[in-house]
Structure 1
């Protein structure tokens, strides 16, 4: 009997790789690992094997529902106050701090411990079906045979730098190898349609395919990486790589209307998502005009409340006590909802705020023919720009989101992971898997996922319509809207006393990719703001 399977992600090449693995007999975990590795090749600013991530794995036949959290910790040489004297400001959306010399934003000291490769390897070891080498091979092929510069990729490369932060083009140009791979001789990025090949990364992936992740963390590759990074003044050591451990956690579970919502634990963005849903559950959103001034005001106040609580309370629970019972309390959510009804406007504190920063992340959602599912978000944060000669991949820039001020939830500590808004999510209705979704988008990830959940559950949209609808956000004391929110709507908000920022992009505030699991099959949605696809296949005879 034939059954459907689906891969949804922002890169067509990576989705193809996932489908090929499913057709070869792989399960959702095999396909997720293959898709993610392909993404690290074909979207090099968005993600990488030296990045970080978080992944939901649901295998109902095996009774498995868990998260693989492969966050990037600060190196052991990091100190809580090492950058306090360099602080200039905080980005408006709370996704990073601006330091003198931008040492946390680009270059060797911005690099946290690489985590993605180990996360993917441990997912596969625990739940994969096909041989490891087979799931790595598609990524090797993309690196060696090549792909081309896509429109969404190119638009991201040329995006103008935000106030106080380094632009994406400067990250591509930072290393000799980056310039050779991605830029023309005059330094401009290669144009749309240009072929790209990465022989160095292909060779690294071949060794990983043959030997697993071990050489990357305690062998030849690790030694080469650390020797180069330390020659540049990086904080990373061989001990950092050898000691790195992936965390396997139970889902963070909440509810919204008739759905059971499962998402990730801190320092991920799941608690923020559930807090917003808990507040909004106290309003009949389905009876409101979608994206009307009243609707935007209501949802934005829930966003501001959750953002304030995130800033104060959500960090790495191994280092900071996160009051989840308080943050996820339905009673406290009702109290916050009543304050919103009474006209309360929550205040989001920012230190000398600048403009929002670019968002470098990617996502995949997969359901296989057996009903297994994976939702994974992985990233480089703001890429460091550093490439070890001959290895081809960019290192993460995870240190940029740490708070340089000591004594806070997001402060730097050796071995500590910083907050990420990533919240790969699954929903269940009447005990059955109902939705699989997540998004790239920096601090806007949780906001994008929230919008899609509200669009499907309250406004009865199908997934593609839900991910395509115009979005807005408030992670500061202003409201940010995409360019498809009409000006007569924003004028009404401004007349009500809100500061409104208009984003020039039609599709922004996260880029959500997901699917619905329904009796008549799988219904996918790929955000039009990226190059993505929802690819379907049938498995069986």
Structure 2
């Protein structure tokens, strides 16, 4: 009976998930790509996209528009991002014809050690409350990125979000759902209900929501600059609040924060250079997956086929074993990054994949090492500069901790630390950056920009990146089709905290895949579950360098919008 019900549910979801018939494009495509010449922005909320376009029209750079949009997203999508979180970016500088990488992640409080958790016999850092809070890197990231790539005054970039914060905005559908579904376990955290539950509940779809406290905080940052957040009244308020509620994050932690300019890393996938940022993020996993997939004739397998989904899932399992073992703060660990990204290592890993059987477990790489919920956006301007930017507070509404009168929640990124094994690469240490899930991406071809893209969704992100690249390169999809196409999401127990996959994990498939394919995957031993959940929230901008034309896309899973002019 259960099997029949599952089949009925799958057929129901499948039959209701397709877009209406279109004159062009794939059956699953929701709309055409957006085309424009002077500028393009793609974010997960239309008001943020419009703010970005307005900044571009005023003569702002792609970075100016990205910062303005990110500030707006912190207001309109508060369960996913905000200045209490971290920021990463890959930037194409058109004048220098060069990619820049930026790591704006914060560190663990210097007064918090792994012994605190071991003495209390706590196996994991909790998701909520003061313990998972790490230094927010977002605001420092804004100013560092603006100094190098910005043009308009920071006050002008923050003003749209300040105005919307005071006047209010109608909450959009998916964001209203996310706020409603995640507040129950957080409503008792100090400051949360006062900020996000003005009527005793989160705002509903279409309800006008205001956050004057956040508007005031943005005004302080606009007037006082970066130090207003890390060394001024905001920092002192956070310090006082954390001390009052048993936290460890201090004024000194905030005052000592620094971001890092880093070199992006890449692999060549069938003639296209795919770029990610190195650890402490997980972008390397996407590159490892692509290296493994390159050894197969993916195009001939066909999108959505049993063969393709099988090797894609197995490639994910292999890459994530290395992710669990090696990815961490490089200032505290020697990471075998070069070895992990070689074609030779990929071939060795590929040889472990059996064509007819899903693996229950895989070994991580064995190298000799010297001792020693998220929002994504992308913007392009008329000069050819492109920004791939991702910003997050980690899980929905993060720690739930809202410092008095500041209007934003503090991230819970410290939850990712391992507090069971002092020798693990991602073990908690004072001043250490935790393993990070948020990753921007970029693709170049023959040394020229081609696609700036990314998506949200925690551990799904490298899986999503690999699927987007395969959709575009192997299956010939345009940017909108590549984002709307149904996705897989494999969930195993190989986590950055150190646990290992032992039972093959679970393969979740979105509606839209043929049931015959699902049946064949089960025969290979894949544990398939049907689940509605986070498969990403994708945005992308492509560029036709010869014609100087941008194309933009924003997928249908979120409230997003791509727009140009």
Q: Is 1:403 matched with 2:418?
A: yes
Q: What does residue 488 of structure 1 align with?
A: 516
Q: Is 1:470 matched with 2:483?
A: no
Q: For 1:182 and 1:221, how far apart are their aligned partners in 2?
A: 19
Q: 194, 208, 227: which one pairs with 1:180? A: 194
Q: Is 1:527 matched with 2:527?
A: no
Q: 236, 242, 247: which one pairs with 1:229? A: 242
Q: For 2:423 and 2:491, how far apart are their aligned partners in 1?
A: 22
Q: Is 1:150 matched with 2:172?
A: yes
TM-score by length of 1: 0.89
Q: For 2:434 and 2:170, how far apart are their aligned partners in 1?
A: 33
Residue deviations 1:509-538, cap 9 Å, x none?
22211122124522211121110000111x
Q: 115, 120, 128: which one pairs with 1:106? A: 128
Unaligned runs of 5+ in 1: 90-98, 160-167, 351-359
Conserved? CA contact 1:448–1:471, under 8 Å: yes
Q: For 1:308 and 1:86, how far apart are their aligned partners in 2?
A: 29
Q: 69, 74, 77: which one pairs with 2:103? A: 69
Residue deviations 1:46-78, cap 9 Å, x none?
011110021111112034421110112111112
Q: For 2:119 and 2:172, how far apart are their aligned partners in 1?
A: 41
Conserved? CA contact 1:305–1:346, under 8 Å: no
Matches within 5 A, 1:347-386: 347=360, 360-382=373-395, 383-386=398-401
Instruction: Flag the 1:87–1:292 CA change in 2: closer, same or farther, 3 A.
Output: farther
Residue deviations 1:357-391, cap 9 Å, x none?
xxx10010111111101001110012111111211
Q: Is 1:393 matched with 2:408?
A: yes
Q: What does residue 183 of structure 2 align with?
A: 169
Residue deviations 1:420-457, cap 9 Å, x none?
23221111112221100011111111111111111001
SS in 1 for 2:273: strand
Deviation at 1:346, TM superposition (A): 4.5
Structure 1 moving runs of 4+ over 3 Å: 84-89, 174-177, 341-350
Q: For 1:242 and 1:344, how far apart are their aligned partners in 2?
A: 53
Q: Is 1:422 matched with 2:448?
A: no
Q: Is 1:8 matched with 2:42?
A: yes
Deviation at 1:486, TM superposition (A): 3.6
Q: Is 1:339 matched with 2:355?
A: no
Instruction: Flag the 1:472–1:76 CA change in 2: closer, same or farther, 3 A.
Output: same
Q: What does residue 96 of structure 1 align with?
A: none
Q: 110, 113, 130: which one pairs with 1:79? A: 113
Q: For 1:529 and 1:491, how far apart are their aligned partners in 2?
A: 26
Q: For 1:511 and 1:400, how far apart are their aligned partners in 2?
A: 22
Q: Is 1:515 matched with 2:517?
A: no
Q: For 2:355 and 2:217, how far apart are their aligned partners in 1?
A: 59
How many residue pairs get matched? 504
Q: What does residue 60 of structure 1 align with?
A: 94
Instruction: Flag the 1:211–1:348 CA change in 2: closer, same or farther, 3 A.
Output: farther
Q: For 1:331 and 1:443, how far apart are their aligned partners in 2?
A: 26
Q: What does residue 68 of structure 2 align with?
A: 34
Q: What does residue 332 of structure 2 align with?
A: 319
Conserved? CA contact 1:59–1:372, under 8 Å: yes
Instruction: Flag the 1:66–1:321 CA change in 2: closer, same or farther, 3 A.
Output: same
SS in 2 for 1:511: coil
Q: 276, 281, 284: which one pairs with 2:297? A: 284
Unaligned runs of 5+ in 2: 1-35, 364-372, 493-503
TM-score by length of 2: 0.86
Q: For 2:206 and 2:362, how far apart are their aligned partners in 1?
A: 43
Deviation at 1:344, TM superposition (A): 6.8
Matches within 5 A, 1:492-507: 492-505=520-533
Conserved? CA contact 1:424–1:438, under 8 Å: yes
Deviation at 1:475, TM superposition (A): 3.8
Q: For 2:355 and 2:308, how far apart are their aligned partners in 1?
A: 15
Deviation at 1:488, TM superposition (A): 3.0
Q: What does residue 264 of structure 1 align with?
A: 277
